[in-house]
DNA sequence: ACCTGAACACCGTTCAAGT
DNA sequence: ACCTGAACACCGTTCAAGT
């Protein structure tokens, strides 16, 4: 009886690494990386600020665990019955979509590219490249290139959060381009004309365009 | 006379935005981004910690200014009399080398890709792509892809500083790959065999390999 | 106008003290 | 064993006070 009462006081939702990581993800999605502090996390878990360190070790480890969770979902979620042609694209797009939905994950991936999760993505990319017809000696460079491209995009997606709020993006970029073009006396070059697209482009479409450029740069041999 | 004496007390090395930024670069090169604090910077300039804010505004602005200085040097330092073929490569390699020499700059570029300096690099890339024979409609996507690749590499170079010290890189990677291969029962696939190169590869050579893959992916029309 | 440096409002992390 | 929350050692930034 007394035991019953005591265990009830302790609550069914005992603290655990898993519960902490999930709570962290919620805060990150809601308030961004700046919103996740030891104190805000402890408050949302209704516990003391020091309790977290009993289960997680450090804030960095917590961010790593959060991003692990996310990437594992993406990799696990890719349909098995796809053609080799589709497989790399689905993987790259899967990570892209996850980062767009959770920009803090993009910042973390770009900041710690030696995380085991990133290595995992690298290996998944590489293993999908092979049946696509990439020459064996080029496999490593091809996978590295795609990964670096993905990490670069990840950082940009993470940063775009800080941009959208605040100054008007189109106006800012337009002014910068104009300034540059004037300094180079190339105001009417084809590239400067094309650059106006920067202001109002779709991030996902542009990601795909770059992906296709890289893929078509790979010397494929017939299967 | 009294004026003379007073101005001498004030010292010839009066504080200025330029002097602050240069001092910051020195600290960043010596002690990394973590070593640059308001207090350490003030100490190296032999002034009060608040003085810096009279000239710079914020720490973020200081980092932006430091990276601006670096990139401007790179762009200005590219030989003018190069062929279009060489020009893009020299630009990309120039930024790569600068980041490898000053990893903190890589972190900053990856973290704030909307910085005017990054836009500058984007425009420099694009304007060099055009005489190379890239189709006008593809110019924008091509320049974006190269920039994203460069920023991805920038983040990786910045992070490799935190890796080299500490655990042995080769052993760590080897174990991770083995683990993955075992889980996927593909221990003897060509890709896994190639991946051993990860442990002991040359960053610069790999960067060039990726650059060539992307460039050869661009549909060039004859000039 | 420029500089000083104490003070403020935060951080992540630790740890004696409680249950 | 698990949790608490005050305390510690830092941050970037501000601002009254000095010159």
pLDDT at position A13: 65
Q: Is the pLDDT of residue B4 over 80?
A: no
Q: Is B110 left (phi over 0), alpha (psi -120 to 50) or beta?
A: alpha
Rounded Cα distance, B92 and B150, in Å: 7
Chain A closest CA to B149's CA: distance in Å?
Answer: 4
Nearest to A126 among B111, B144, B195 (CB): B195
Is the backbone of residue A95 left (phi > 0), alpha (psi -120 to 50) or beta?
alpha
Nearest neighbour of A159 by CB, restricted to B114, B197, B201: B114
Residue numbers in A 15-74, CB below 7 Å of strand C:
36-40, 49-50, 53, 58-60
Give me the pLDDT at residue A8, please.
32
pLDDT band at B195 (very low <50, low <70, confident <90, very high): confident
CATH 1.10.10.60 for domain A1-57, yes or no, is yes
Share of chain A above pLDDT 90, in %: 65
pLDDT tens-digit series, residues A113-137: 999 999 999 999 999 998 899 998 8
Strand D at less than 7 A from CB of B89:
no
Mean pLDDT, all residues of chain B: 88
Q: What is the pLDDT of residue B40?
A: 98
CB contact under 8 A, B155 and A107: no
Q: How far apart are CA A197 and CA B56, in angstroms?
A: 33
Contact check, Cβ <8 Å, B142/A213 = yes
**Unique residue bearing structure tokens 């878990």:** A45
pLDDT at B171 exceeding the cut of 90: no
B73 CB closer than 7 A to any strand D atom: no
Per-residue confidence (pLDDT) for residue B13, from 0 to 100: 65
State residue A167's pLDDT score: 60
Which positions of strand D lie within 7 Å of protein CB atoms?
2-7, 10-16
What is the third-level CATH fold of B66-217? Tetracycline Repressor; domain 2 (1.10.357)
Task: Say which nucleotide is closest to residue B51, CA to C1' distance.
Answer: C3
The rounded percent of chain B whose pLDDT value lies above 90 is 65
Average pLDDT over all residues of chain A? 88
Nearest to A130 among B190, B209, B212 (CB): B190
Number of Cβ within 10 Å of residue B159's Cβ equals 21
- pLDDT (tens digit, 9 = 90+) per residue, B56-86? 999 999 999 999 999 999 999 987 778 988 9
Instruction: Give me the residue from A159, A177, A186 closest to B112, CB to CB.
Output: A159
pLDDT attached to residue B187: 62
Q: Using an 8 Å CB-CB cutoff, list chain B residues near A219.
A: 216
pLDDT at position B182 is 87
**Confidence (pLDDT) at A7:** 36
Predicted pLDDT at A164:
63
Question: Would you call B136 and A194 a contact, using CB atoms and an 8 Å cutoff?
Answer: yes
Cβ of residue B50 lies below 7 Å from strand C: yes
Q: Is pTM, for the whole model, over 0.85?
A: yes
Query: How big is the A-B interface in CB pairs under 8 Å?
Result: 180
Nearest 5°: the CA angle B27, A110, B59 is 35
pLDDT the model gives residue A84: 84
Which of the residue ranges B5-19, B146-160, B179-193 would you say has the lowest mean pLDDT? B5-19
Nearest residue to A41 (alpha-carbon basis) of A59, A66, A24: A24
> Strand D closer than 7 Å to the CB of A208?
no
Mutate to test the interface with B, among A109, A110, A128 (most CBs of B within 10 A): A110
* CA–CA distance, A146 with A139 (Å, rounded to integer): 11
Q: Domain-by-domain residue ranges, chain B?
A: 1-57, 66-217
pLDDT at A165 over 60: no
Q: Which residue has the higher pLDDT, A196 or B107?
A: B107
């Amino acid at each position: 009886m007394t035991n019953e009462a005591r265990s009830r006081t302790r609550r069914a939702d005992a603290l655990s690494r898993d519960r902490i990581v999930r709570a962290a993800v919620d805060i990150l999605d809601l308030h961004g990386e700046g919103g996740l502090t030891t104190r805000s996390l402890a408050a949302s878990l209704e516990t003391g600020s020091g309790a977290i360190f009993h289960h997680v070790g450090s804030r960095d480890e917590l961010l790593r665990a959060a991003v692990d969770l996310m990437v594992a979902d993406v990799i696990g979620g890719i349909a098995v019955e796809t053609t080799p042609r589709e497989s790399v694209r689905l993987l790259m797009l899967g990570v892209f979509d996850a980062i767009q939905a959770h920009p803090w994950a993009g910042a973390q991936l770009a900041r710690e590219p030696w995380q085991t999760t990133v290595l995992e993505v690298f290996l998944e990319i590489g293993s999908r490249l092979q049946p696509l017809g990439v020459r064996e000696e080029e496999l490593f460079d091809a996978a590295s290139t795609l990964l670096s491209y993905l990490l670069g995009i990840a950082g940009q997606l993470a940063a775009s959060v800080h941009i959208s709020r605040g100054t008007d993006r189109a106006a800012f970029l337009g002014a910068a381009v104009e300034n540059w073009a004037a300094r180079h006396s190339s105001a009417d070059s084809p590239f400067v004309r094309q650059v106006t697209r920067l202001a109002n482009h779709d991030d996902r479409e542009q990601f795909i365009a770059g992906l296709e450029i890289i893929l078509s740069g790979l010397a494929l041999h017939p299967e």
